[in-house]
Amino acid sequence: MSNKMWGGRFSERPDEIMEEINVSIDVDRHLFAQDIAASKAHAAMLATQGIITASDAKNIGKGLDTILSEIGKGGFAFKRALEDIHMNVESRLSELIGPAAGRLHTARSRNDQVATDFRLFVRDVIDETDAALAAFQQALVGRALEHAGTVMPGFTHLQTAQPVTFGHHLLAYVEMAARDRGRFQDARKRLNESPLGAAALAGTSFPIDRHATAKALLFDRPMANSLDAVSDRDFVLETLSAASICAVHMSRFAEEIVIWTSPLVGLIRLSDKFTTGSSIMPQKRNPDAAELVRAKTGRVIGALNGLLIVMKGLPLAYQKDMQEDKQGAMEGFAALSLAIRAMTGMVRDLVPDEARMKAAAGEGYATATDLADWLVRTLKMPFRGAHHVTGRIVAKAAEGGVALHEVPLSEMQAIEPKITKDVFGVLSVESSVKSRTSFGGTAPKNVASQAKAWAKRLEKERKLG
């Protein structure tokens, strides 16, 4: 008995293990909408080119619509014996419309078919991710405007460095998300070429119109080389690369939330919506959503690494190894989607402890740089000299266990006689942040201006759709 799929060349059924390792329907069933869309475009083109009859094309289209509806309603029986989404759809189409279904596969191969389906799927993922990142930015911008003047400690090396505003800190992630969106958009531009019609690897002798199918599927153009068309997975790698960088940004922010919500730090609080308790310690409030965002990043980066390893040694053209391109990527994209939505929710939910933030902003002699700048600006000292004088005053403050602005003027003058009482005007955290008016600086008026500009830009994007 010949194998139904392979025709007369094979006379025996594959071994059970061969079937198990070869089957992909458990994963590529998620491509059903893309597969049906590509098949409809292909059938319509075949009819236009006179390769199949208009009647057959019409029946194929109706049958494919029926299958799309069946799958959408959960009434479609996927069969593992048919291996993949392509053969499952074609088999059901044959049941619905008879022999005409067999004409659908004219002038194409599963090689160009799956490459087309997956490009369409990844393109949809990019569009969905862009929308999610825009919502994340909108949430950040709203909170940044709300807290444009809320003082908090800025850190380097996780040590108190200089005072900043909470709004300024949040806008940093708006900028990161903008770069993420740019990377996804760049990937989309390079992705948007159609492999359909490349067939197995060499093209086809049928007079097909690849430009027509590319246009129907909203691709910019058909891919120019049939070998490249069926064997390229750069579009997945590039999108996973963008996803990995984006996931790292989410993880960095999540890590900050974990730190900030610790009672030892206490800069922000999350509500019950984004925290969990302990089964044994009733006092606990754990930032599990943030912790899981950190962990999801591993899935995204792992998907990129996994596919790079799959592709690294493959000669042209299609190899069955490429069947492993989808599961990890789909899981990675899903993990990123969940992480972005969770971070968006936490941004909207978090409540900063403004009093604690302000107090923490002044700890660790955070306005020391302001003192050094005052010495340079007012006393015309070289910065290196001012740095040395400031260091000695900080040491004096530490010796006395007082804040920098609490060091008596006489003790400062013992170190640098030219210092006047005016120096105290720059040593408060409020004065510090207000003075940082350089472009991109943390001054509240800068932050408010940037937040408003971002809000306007995002609203314009939303209206343009």
Comparing C-alpha atoms, which of 178, 177, 180, 209 is closest to residue 196? 209
CA–CA separation, 336 and 250 (whole Å): 9
pLDDT tens by residue, 335-386: 999 999 999 999 999 999 999 999 999 888 999 999 999 999 999 999 999 9
Q: Residue 9: its pLDDT value, please?
A: 65
Which segments of 191-281 are extended strands (E)? 193-194, 221-222, 268-269
CA–CA separation, 194 and 224 (whole Å): 9
Q: Residue 279: its pLDDT value, please?
A: 84
Position 192: which residue type? N
- What would the mean pLDDT of 277-304 be, rounded to a whole number? 94
Distances (CA, A) of 277 to 43, 239, 267, 355, 389: 56, 36, 20, 26, 50
Q: Length of the chain, please? A: 465
- The encoded tokens of residue 360 equal 């923490």
Mean of the per-residue pLDDT values of the chain: 95
Is pLDDT of 240 > 90?
yes
**Residue 190: count of CB within 10 angstroms of its CB:** 12
Is pLDDT of 8 > 90?
no
- What would the mean pLDDT of 222-245 be, rounded to a whole number? 98
- What would the mean pLDDT of 227-245 be, rounded to a whole number? 98
- What would the mean pLDDT of 115-135 be, rounded to a whole number? 98
Contact 93, 104 (CB under 8 A): yes
Position 347: which residue type? V
- What would the mean pLDDT of 271-277 be, rounded to a whole number? 94
> What b/e sequence results for 18-27 when a residue is b if at least 16 CB atoms lie within 10 Å of its CB, and e otherwise?
eeeeebbbeb
Contact 451, 171 (CB under 8 A): yes
Task: Give the DSSP letter string of 48-72.
Answer: HTTSS-HHHHHHHHHHHHHHHHHHH
- The encoded tokens of residue 280 equal 């044994």
Q: Which residues contact 156 (CB under 8 A, 6 or more apart)?
A: none
Q: Residue 364: its pLDDT value, please?
A: 86
Comparing C-alpha atoms, which of 176, 165, 222, 177 is closest to residue 196? 222
Give me Rg for the CA atoms of the chain: 30
Omega within 30 of 0 (cis) for the link into 187: no
Is pLDDT of 1 > 60?
no
Is pLDDT of 4 > 60?
no
Q: Residue 283: its pLDDT value, please?
A: 86
Comparing C-alpha atoms, which of 370, 455, 369, 464 is closest to residue 170? 455
Is pLDDT of 3 > 60?
no
CA–CA separation, 187 and 177 (whole Å): 15
CA-CA-CA-CA dihedral for 50, 52, 53, 59, to nearest 10? -140
β-partners of residue 156 are 159
Instruction: Using the structure block, give the residue that is written with the tokens 């989808």.
Output: 326
Is pLDDT of 2 > 70?
no
Is pLDDT of 432 > 80?
yes
pLDDT tens by residue, 384-413: 999 999 999 999 999 999 989 899 999 999
CA 327 to chain centre: 17
Comparing C-alpha atoms, which of 88, 87, 111 is closest to residue 233? 111
Instruction: Using the structure block, give the residue that is written with the tokens 């089964």.
Output: 279
* Helix residue spans in 224-312 (DSSP H): 226-231, 234-261, 288-311
* Helix residue spans in 147-233 (DSSP H): 166-191, 210-216, 226-231
Residue 150: what are its φ and ψ, rounded to 5°? -80, 115
- The encoded tokens of residue 77 equal 């029986």
Instruction: Using the structure block, give the residue that is written with the tokens 């291996």.
Output: 83
Instruction: Using the structure block, give the residue that is written with the tokens 């194929």.
Output: 60
- In this structure, of 29-33, 119-123, 157-161, 310-314, the range with the lowest mean pLDDT score is 157-161
CA–CA separation, 43 and 49 (whole Å): 10
- What would the mean pLDDT of 231-253 be, rounded to a whole number? 98
- What would the mean pLDDT of 178-188 be, rounded to a whole number? 98
Q: Residue 19: its pLDDT value, please?
A: 78
Q: Can you say whether the dihedral through the CA atoms of 179, 180, 185, 187 is positive or negative?
A: positive
Residue 108: what are its φ and ψ, rounded to 5°? -150, 170
CA–CA separation, 261 and 357 (whole Å): 12
- In this structure, of 3-12, 100-109, 340-349, the range with the lowest mean pLDDT score is 3-12
Position 428: which residue type? S
Contact 142, 454 (CB under 8 A): no
pLDDT tens by residue, 16-36: 888 788 899 999 999 999 999
Distances (CA, A) of 136 to 88, 242, 387: 38, 16, 40
Active site residues: 157, 278
The percentage of residues in the chain with a pLDDT greater than 70, rounded to a whole number, is: 98
CA angle 178, 183, 184 (to 5 degrees): 95
Is pLDDT of 5 > 60?
no
- What would the mean pLDDT of 253-264 be, rounded to a whole number? 97
